[in-house]
A and B are shown apart, each in its own frame.
Chain A
């Protein structure tokens, strides 16, 4: 699918590995915190790209899965459960179940209606979290501490960053694998032409539901990591519809339907905000201009331009 020469591919992988190693070796706390956030949002963006790029569906509800992952992690931490092997699967399971139910209903519609229904469900969770006083309501709450993995601490920012990168890498490679296998191919076929797909023996509903559910699970995992990074959870930062839109912007900024593009887009998006917000409070305005410029000037996505240059 990608037209990158194998030698260049190896170089890219090496460069990425070097970058991670350099960050771990020389990164200060602030930098490590930032790149951990990039890895976490990249994970969510990859999940959103599964739905947007492969199933061809615009979900405005992914903040719900992100928030559920975060809130379950936080709520369990409040009552003393911090072991990742217990807490993380549980948090992911809740996000997965929500994605399955929301997907099952939303996928009976398409187009604008799909966007509206996913948005409506996510808003239910947003206002729900606002109304739970035990979890801080609109103010949110502070977590007593990070999860432990098999009893081991991930408080060291270098360790935490490596955990995030490892998870992102595993998910990214697995998703790439599934994308060129029967599952991803069938999904794309139904996206290209639903009628032709059905007439080829491929019904789209269960395929899309599976994709939406897996995507929700991965987004839930990103929420789990996010709660562990920030150690503070509020509806506005984990469940707001802005977040759903930001995930979409990240994917589009990179390139839809490639999964790698989502990672690049997430990094670029957060970097832009980081840099611009140093100079002005109105960073959203300039980031917005950057996104518009990107869509108008580099139509196929930044990754496509890069690929064209690197083609053998």
Chain B
């Protein structure tokens, strides 16, 4: 039995009187793709934000690779190996496409204050950026200003930026959202390749993708974990069917 890469225990988050995460305890094993599903407002993104550090929980602990990161600022978590993408893709729009992952590599290496060598001339940085862009098959757009990319390409670019940070855990918030059919297939193929290298914790509404890719599925409803297990077990779980899969299939 291997030890989990990420463990949350009793994670609880309140927005005023609203309980958005209630006593959430999950484990993410090294190299697995762990999907979080649940109806809108179930607290999926809020949970991801607490693991990524964009939000701090009111109670509970988050342990990554043996270290308690519950209160750690985002940039420090990133450097420990927690990478992420956002629901609406976030990119460095004024930069060339290739320079987006270059920033990811720069941040991971914590080399922010260099004032002499251009980032293209930093050997480690430019190699990693090129490799990350290649991994998402965006190399031919390398020189384009990144804000000119399509929505689908922006999603891929944001993943490349996260990959350049050499994550051991990748948090993906709805990587399929807004993608066309071909783009979804491309994304699925990419995620299949990526898992194994890094563990992936993914929030997703596309049930086809979830059940074909995930090793573990956790179901959230009203901030609580109502089920967690292998995809087959989740698919046939009566509680899950009643609260989510049966009535609200927005895949």
Chain A interface residues (CB < 8 Å from chain B):
174, 177-178, 180-186, 188-189, 192-193, 195-203, 207, 210
- Residues from chain B with Cβ under 8 Å of A180 in the complex: 118-119
Spot the interface stretch: B98-106, B134-142, B229-237.
B98-106
Give min CB distance, A207 to chain B, whole Å: 6
> Is there an interface contact between B108 and A201, defined as CB atoms closer than 8 Å?
yes
B111 within 8 A of A: yes
- Could you give 20 example pairs across A and B, Cβ below 8 Å? A177-B116, A180-B118, A181-B118, A182-B117, A183-B112, A183-B113, A185-B95, A186-B106, A186-B113, A189-B92, A193-B93, A195-B86, A197-B92, A197-B103, A197-B107, A199-B52, A199-B84, A200-B75, A203-B73, A210-B113
Please determine whether A201 and B95 come into contact, CB atoms closer than 8 angstroms: no
Query: Is residue B8 within 8 Å, beta carbon to beta carbon, of the partner chain?
Result: no
Proximity string of chain B (44-88) to chain A, C-beta cutoff 8 Å, 1 when within and 0 when not: 000000001110000000000000000001110011000110100
A201-B108, A203-B73, A203-B75 known; A185 and B86 CB under 8 Å? no
Q: How far is the CB of A300 from chain B (nearest CB, A)?
A: 12
Residues of A within 8 A of B118 (CB): 180-181
In contact, B161 and A200 (Cβ under 8 angstroms): yes
B202 contacts A by Cβ under 8 Å: no
Set of chain A residues within 8 Å of B114, measured between Cβ atoms: 181-183
CA distance A207 to B80 in the complex (A): 20
Q: Judge whether A185 and B94 touch: CB under 8 Å.
A: no
User: Which residue of chain A lies nearest to B147 when distances are taken between CB atoms in the complex?
Assistant: A192
Given contacts A174-B115, A177-B115, 11 further A-B contacts (CB under 8 A): A181-B118, A186-B106, A186-B113, A188-B95, A192-B92, A195-B86, A196-B91, A198-B73, A199-B83, A200-B78, A200-B107
B119 & A198 in contact (Cβ 8 Å cutoff) = no
Please give, as numbers and ranges, the residues of chain A lying within 8 Å of B107 by CB-CB distance: 186, 197, 200-202
- Across the interface, do A181 and B93 meet the contact criterion of CB distance under 8 Å? no
Assess whether A182 is in contact with B78, with CB atoms less than 8 Å apart: no
Seen from chain B, the residues whose Cβ lies within 8 Å of a Cβ on chain A are 52-54, 73-75, 78-79, 83-84, 86, 90-95, 99, 102-104, 106-108, 110-119, 122, 158, 161-162, 165
Closest A residue to B111 using CB positions: A182
Q: Does the CB pair A193–B79 fall under 8 Å? A: no
Q: How far is the CA of A185 from the CA of B115 in the complex (A)?
A: 10
A181 in contact with B92 (CB, 8 Å): no
C-alpha gap A161/B116 in the complex (Å): 28
Whole-angstrom CA separation of A124 from B196 in the bound complex: 59
A236 and B16 alpha carbons, distance in the complex (Å):
49
> Is B90's CB under 8 angstroms from A196's CB?
yes
The interface residues of chain A lying within 8 Å CB-to-CB of B74 are: 198-199, 203
Across-interface contacts of A178 in B (CB, < 8 A): 115-116
Residues of A within 8 A of B54 (CB): 195, 198-199
Q: Among B111, B115, B162, which residue has its beta carbon within 8 angstroms of that of A199?
A: B162
